[in-house]
Amino acid sequence: MGTINIFEPRTMLAMVSESEFRAKTFLRDRYFGHTESFQTEAVDVDIVGRGKRKIAPFVSRRSAGSQDFRDGYSTKTYKPAYVAPFRVSTAEDALKRSAGEAIYSSKSPNQRAAEILAKDLYELDKEITRREEVMCAQALTTGKIIIKGKDVDDQLDFWDGLTTKPYVDLTATKAWNASGADPITDLRKIVRNITQLSGLTPVEVIAGSKAVDALINALKGDTTAFNSRRIDLGQINPSTLADGVGFIGTLRLPQLDIYTYDEWYYDDATGKDVPLIPEDSILIACRGVNTTRAYGLVDIINVQQNEHQWVVGDRVPNSWLQATGENAGRIVQIKSAPLMIVNEPLGFWTVKVVS
């Protein structure tokens, strides 16, 4: 048997795919479960607007019938930008004792190199996964994905062309943190409106930190607002939820599960931590909304085989040696071309509830 090169893209791909430590995400895993890898650089984005509640018309017995036309949809073709973080592993890294390793370790430089590679792939994968979670949050709460970085400045707008935007600002009337606020009545009206416009059924709310505090304070003393039965029966196990997610309870009317998601990302542009769910807002999600976690085709230069390759997949690792420059050494990189698509934008509504 020949010697296995751990830096061969195919070998690293197996290491990434088999990793049990991929960062867990709430929004991506909950609302973008359908994954599709395209064999092209461009991705087709199908946007379905408001459907009509058509009923079959009457016709005479002698009539051939009435022709039915499908509800329309719009298609955008978009070429996702790359997400391609890399790290430099130098020869010294493999020769040095790693943290926690015994002083008189019997590990060989190759063994250390394999461990360094695994850690690097793990961290690079986590960064890409966090980027995907941010894309999900933007798509769900703003209807847009902002694609801004090195040599790229673009955005994909899912609300463009919609007659009704899935956004409500309750602070224009009475915010939930104002005296006399009535969140239950507000939610009943919004749920009815969503059902009428989209034909979908709202089932849960993801609340920002200030929004959930305002909701709880407004309902303080109302013993009938929340239904604790589902918790008593053990149908919800908080331990299975991702880090930062909390289950508050189930509203009786309207029937909505209330969650919080305390998770942030660091914004290089502002130098601040940004909450994935806006603190002053809630996200109302409907059941069975069509979404797609899409990945475009990725190109790499396979140095081991000395050829340019196009690879289908959500994570494409690569490695090469760079002899000069500030990044001289062994380069380890993971490339991806992710795009989170909300095919039915009216299935998710953002409501600003705190002034």
Q: How far is CA 190 from the centre of its chain?
A: 24
Same domain, yes or no: 174 and 232? yes
18, part of any domain: yes
Omega prior to 254 cis, within 30 of 0: yes
Distance CA 325, CA 331 (A): 12
Tell me, what's the pLDDT at 239? 40
CA angle 295, 299, 303 (to 5 degrees): 140
Are 248 and 144 found together in one domain? no
Mean pLDDT within 335-355: 95
Q: What is the pLDDT of residue 72?
A: 45
Long-range contacts of 14-19, Cβ-Cβ distance < 8 Å, separation of 24 or more? 15/117, 15/118, 15/121, 15/317, 16/121, 16/125, 16/315, 16/317, 16/334, 17/315, 19/118, 19/121, 19/122, 19/125
Asked if residue 60 is part of any domain, the answer here is no
- Average pLDDT taken over every residue of the chain: 83
User: In terms of residue numbers, what domain contains 304?
Assistant: 9-51+74-156+293-342
Give the mean model confidence (pLDDT) for residues 108-122: 80
Cβ neighbours of 240 (radius 10 Å):
7
* CB < 8 Å & 24+ apart, contacts of 108-117: 110/6, 113/6, 113/89, 114/6, 116/89, 117/6, 117/7, 117/12, 117/15, 117/89, 117/332
| Contacts for 7 with CB less than 8 Å, ≥ 6 apart | 117, 304, 319, 330, 332
User: In this structure, are 297 and 286 located in the same domain?
Assistant: no
Can you give the pLDDT at residue 236? 39
Domain match, 231 and 275 both: yes
Q: Are residues 86 and 144 in the same domain?
A: yes
Query: Which range among 19-23, 212-216, 229-233, 342-346 shows the weakest confidence by mean pLDDT?
Result: 229-233
pLDDT tens, position by position, 3-45: 567 777 777 777 676 655 556 689 999 999 999 999 999 998 8
Domain total in the chain:
2
What's 46's domain CATH number? Answer: 3.15.30.10
Kindly state whether residue 62 falls inside one of the protein's structural domains: no
Which pTM was predicted? 0.83
